[in-house]
A and B are shown apart, each in its own frame.
Chain A
Amino acid sequence: GQSLEQPSEVTAVEGAIVQINCTYQTSGFYGLSWYQQHDGGAPTFLSYNALDGLEETGRFSSFLSRSDSYGYLLLQELQMKDSASYFCAVRDHGNYGQNFVFGPGTRLSVLP
């Protein structure tokens, strides 16, 4: 079956750098996405990796290693507003045709 694993919680201080890891197991694989969700809010798209390597978007970067079935989201110059849950997600062909699978989420707390 398909499954993704992420750490449940991460804590860091303002201005620091934090890395959120994601490992996945899928029957097919098109790429790894990352979403941010503030408490009570909707998920918002952050980044996507289809190929191995690093993608940078401002303070956020995302990395993928297809051979290791592993990726991470790197947040630099942390700000209080970055306190949120972060989800990795894959799209693959599962038992249900096109399948979109989200990880359980990592809750990031940024301390002053």
Chain B
Amino acid sequence: NAGVTQTPKFQVLKTGQSMTLQCAQDMNHNSMYWYRQDPGMGLRLIYYSASEGTTDKGEVPNGYNVSRLNKREFSLRLESAAPSQTSVYFCASSEAIGGRAYEQYFGPGTRLTVT
């Protein structure tokens, strides 16, 4: 099993450009999450999807949109990138938001720089 995969691994954008970060998991998990991690800080939840067909905002959703394409895939879109969105983005998944949601499996991350 590959676990959680993310593409791309690195990306440099200019202010105002758009891009989509892709995430897929092969563990048949119901719940998926997008976090951002700024230097020296913990992870902050951007959006999550408790199950296929549902998405909800987290702590820092402004400037982002998400799509739960199917049970495996959960994408994050930046419509108009800003320097404040320079960060490392992690996708994660867990069995179920009401169950073992405390055990989240993380992808390798996407390192995004916005100039």
- Most chain B CB within a 10 A radius of its CB, from A98, A100, A101, A105: A100
Q: List 21 A-B contacts (CB under 8 A).
A: A31-B102, A33-B104, A41-B108, A42-B109, A43-B43, A44-B106, A45-B102, A48-B103, A50-B102, A87-B43, A89-B102, A91-B102, A97-B56, A98-B48, A98-B101, A99-B45, A100-B45, A101-B59, A102-B43, A105-B40, A105-B42
Give me the interface of B with A, judged by CB distance under 8 Å. 33, 35, 40-45, 48, 50, 56-59, 90, 97, 101-109
* B-binding residues in A (CB < 8 A): 4, 30-31, 33, 41-45, 48, 50, 87, 89, 91, 94, 96-105
Bound form: Cα–Cα A97–B59 in Å: 10
Identify which of A42, A91, A94, A100 contacts B107 (C-beta below 8 A): A42
SS of A interface (majority): strand
Establish whether residues A87 and B102, one from each chain, have CB atoms under 8 Å apart when the complex forms. Answer: no
